[in-house]
Structure 1
Amino acid sequence: MPSYDVIIIGGGPGGYVCAIRCAQLGLKTACVEGRETLGGTCLNVGCIPSKALLHASHMLHEAEHNFVKMGLKGKSPSVDWPQMQSYKDDVIGQNTKGIEFLFKKNKVDWIKGWASIPAAGKVQVGDEVYDAKNIIIATGSEASSLPGVEVDEKIVVTSTGALSLPKVPKKMVVIGAGVIGLEMGSVYARLGAEVTVVEFLDHITPGMDAEISKAFARSLKKQGLKFVLGAAVQSVSTTKTKAKVTYKLRKNDKEATLDADVVLVATGRKPFTDGLGLEALGVETSPRGQIKTDPQWATNVAGIYAIGDAIDGPMLAHKAEDEGMAVAEVLAGKAGHVNYGVIPGVVYTNPEVATVGQTEEQLKEARRAYKVGKFSFMGNGRAKAMFAGEGFVKILADQATDRILGAHILGPNAGEMIHEICVAMEFGASAQDIALTCHAHPTCSEAVREAALACGDGAIHA
């Protein structure tokens, strides 16, 4: 019977990163994955393919709207949807094959198939049972739906189906104004679809800093997305080629309908732990199906750990990766740590949105004395040259100590720029520390410095 120091169940970002780190730390490691390729939801039907489509559709938008302004004239490109799908699939293939190579390089065994845990220290895949001193559950999450909404991945789709539609729909209804719904909605809006987003709350992007959220909504509306806010979806009915979404406005109970060729259900995700046998093992879970863990990612059953979307916290690939590395360190007798206060979040629309740390609303609720430094990209030379002057950088700092408590960016390359703030927060930096750091000119990142200066005596270019 094959025996390992650690077996990780799930080959997504949390699982494969954990497996590589375990092997690097000298542990005999195997990773169980039932898909034909490694990388989990993220690389196969999530983060990576969606970014490919976002990039392609953004290039189309640039060609249609900004090329002529720069003196780049010619026939506007047409959309070859099968070719765009092929490009997306090629990007997926390059990434998943890369992980397979890393497994071989680091001597991680890939056990192909779906796993169950018949007992602590045992992992079963097919008819084979493997011994493991430690088991790490990294099985990720799956899309959750709504009562009265049946997903067929053809007309009523989750993000998985939305990535591989046979053609660009004329009308799309997106249920849920979170990250996934807005990213995929913006892809299809750029490609020519009429997109309407239906959201239960009276604002988009739940949990985001309210000022950023409002500005983001205005930007998306300018791009042609329509929003029905404060609306509870009652049902979705379908024919062979069409769908009808019935919703009720919360403020007056008024019922209305929307016709669509495709309905994207983007109402969040739930842990995927089917078939593991957790209940029989006695592994404790929350009412939402999340596996309960202690600060070292251990479950209540000795030798069984869990990370990523299967446990509490934001369902983000990079959060899972951090936990994967940290639990590997713990198993190797080192000090694994994740700073949950400094986990950035990014929405890869155009403009991008990136956030880290606390929002103004959270600081007000905590009665924390704080100050705000803001700077608009309209005052940034590089952004204006790129037709990307929309949006702003917002830094929140402690009123007394100037320590950075959070940052929120709506604008060009926000997802790249946020990491300057992340590093600063990890080191306990003040806004003045960023304000006194020389930034190359002309760059969009200068807007971060200006926002930091605005926390003090004032920005220069405001």
Structure 2
Amino acid sequence: MSQEFDFVVIGSGPGGYVCAIRAAQLGLRTAIIERYGRLGGTCLNVGCIPSKALLQSSEHYHQAKHKFAKHGIDLAEVKLNLAQMMARKDEVVENLTSGIAGLMKKNKITHFEGHGSFVSAKEIAVKNGEETQTITGKTIVIATGSKPVELPFLPHDKKDIVSSTEALAFDAVPKHLVVVGGGVIGLEMGSVWLRLGAKVTVVEFMDRVLPPMDKDISKEMRKVLKKQGMAFNLSTGVTGVERAEDGTLIVKAKDKKDREVVLEADKVLVAVGRRPYTQGLGLENIGIETDKRGFIPVDDHLRTSVEGVYAIGDVIGGLMLAHKAEEEGVAVAEMAAGKPGHVNYNLVPNVVYTWPEVASVGKTEDELKEAGVAYNAGKFFFRANSRARCVDESDGFIKFLADKETDRLLGAHMVGPSVSELIQEAAVVMEFMGSSEDLARTCHGHPTLSETVKEAALAVDGRQIHS
């Protein structure tokens, strides 16, 4: 006889486990299904968390090697212990995934290990090895996430031609890493290995890095990363890779003028996006059809075409971000418990954890122009901020876009130190439909990086003090 639950979540990434916890908090008898041995999904195991751990460690190494002397700290010799760096990364992942398991127990959520697939709209078969058990749920949430896109002419061999998963675990620093794709993952992983001593070349089909972001952000990041040593081939598409007799990878590409570009590398990272993961989910058994890109269609309430079945996170498309999936998970759980649930997709922050960091929320200038919205822009550079000078991190700026008539804040775009934290101040103001004047009139501590937020808000009206 199958076990019965009020609420069943398939997938334990940030969207899935947060969804399950919120459902349990609301009194629903909840189960979560995860096919892998550890909870946490891509984000905790082979995505957000391990990459940020390596970004932090590699930045420490870079600081010690190139910047400590300027602060009066002389080190005789700085050595890289890559094995220890990887061990620390793995320890961070293990601690956090264990913490998720603890949260499941604390909230009395039943954890099923195995591959879940639909038998019917209310029944899920969970296969673990040779054993299969069936559970039922009044509400079922698909939170199965995504996988890296693999190009047909550039298949992964998981050793030299790799996805971000393998790039998190190289056993040696590449001599030359070619990164196919100048988006978030490409720049983050490229930054890790650049800091550790690799030559890094980014090949991007579009005419700028971070294409979806505000153009000023893209321009600034290319300038800063180029100064750090990263090379770029923009408006260039990779056509294939050959292997020379000595094992060298010959990366072939063409630019927009049809000129051939040839690069020699020992590692190639393919970072051209992610695709929804629905393999073996049994959607055909309940009549759910994916769209042409493989995403599961949902309505404004995250409902699929089948009553009682919801989907959240990467598997439904949109911004493929962990925190967006979390918000969707909370919304679904609350709706299942008879409460209102809502996600404001206009105010999901987007962050790139290079150094300097990148962060944005709201509309870009191009989006406002396309929509015919009149706006004022204010920009303030970190080089004019006293705290940025003290910590010797003065690259970048903060830019605000505000409605020309009402002054309502419409967009915030940042490049600079710790902007992954500073962006939240703008997000809160925008959530409450605040104005640039609201930020400008708020007293900020001195000396802090956050004063750059205040100055950029003042600059919307041409009133910045320190520039």
User: Do the aligned partners of residues 403 and 76 (structure 1) sit closer, same or farther apart at CA in structure 2, a change above 3 Å counting?
Assistant: farther
Q: TM-score normalized by structure 1?
A: 0.98
The question of whether the paired residues in 2 share the 8 Å contact of 1:357 and 1:407 is answered with yes
Residue 248 (structure 2) aligns with: 242
Residues 366 and 76 of structure 1: CA distance in aligned 2, closer, same or farther (over 3 Å) = farther
Give distance in 2, aligned partners of 1:193 and 1:457.
43
Which of 175, 182, 186 is residue 181 of structure 1 equivalent to? 186
Query: Which letter does structure 1 place at the counterpart of 2:212?
Result: G
1:53-68 aligned at under 5 Å gives the runs: 53-68=54-69
Counterpart CA distance in 1 for 2:420 and 2:162 is: 27
Q: Which residue of 1 aligns with 2:135?
A: 130
* CA distance in 2: counterparts of 1:73 and 1:147, whole angstroms: 49
Q: How does 1:47-196 map to 2 (within 5 A)?
A: 47-126=48-127, 127-196=132-201
Moved over 2 A (4+): 237-242
Aligned-CA RMSD value:
1.0
Q: Report Cα offsets for 1:122-154 as digits up to 9, x if no partner.
A: 010021111111110000000002221110110
Question: TM-score of the superposition, structure 2-length normalised?
Answer: 0.97
Match of 2:217 among 212, 216, 233: 212
For residues 76-131 of structure 1, the C-alpha deviation after alignment (integer angstroms, 9 at most, x for no partner) is 42111111110000000010000000000000111000110011000100211111
Shift of 1:6: 0.9
Task: Decide whether the 8 Å contact of 1:188 with 1:195 is kept in 2.
Answer: yes
Distance 2:454 2:234 in 1: 35
SS in structure 2 opposite 1:315? coil
**How many residue pairs get matched?**
461
Displacement of 1:457 after TM fit? 4.2
SS at 2:345's partner residue?
coil
The answer on whether the counterparts of 2:118 and 2:285 sit within 8 Å (CA) in structure 1 is: no
Alignment of 1:25-424 (within 5 A): 25-126=26-127, 127-238=132-243, 241-251=247-257, 253-424=258-429
- Quote the residue 2:448 is aligned against: 443
For the Cα contact (< 8 Å) 2:276–2:317, is it kept in 1?
no
Structure 2 stretches lacking a partner, 5+ long: none
Kindly tell me: are residues 258 and 86 of structure 1, through their superposed partners in 2, closer, same or farther at Cα, counting changes over 3 Å? Answer: same
SS of the aligned residue for 2:427 comes to helix
Q: Which runs of 5+ in 1 are unaligned?
A: none
For residue 243 of structure 1, what is the amino acid of its counterpart? Answer: L
8 Å Cα contact 1:175/1:265 also seen in 2: yes
The Cα of 1:241 is off from its aligned counterpart by 4.3
Partner of 1:285, secondary structure, is coil
Shift of 1:286: 1.3
Whichever residue aligns with residue 98 of structure 2, its letter is: K
What letter is aligned with 2:334?
E
After the TM superposition, which of the residue ranges 28-37 and 75-84 deviates more from structure 2? 75-84
1:66 CA displacement: 1.6
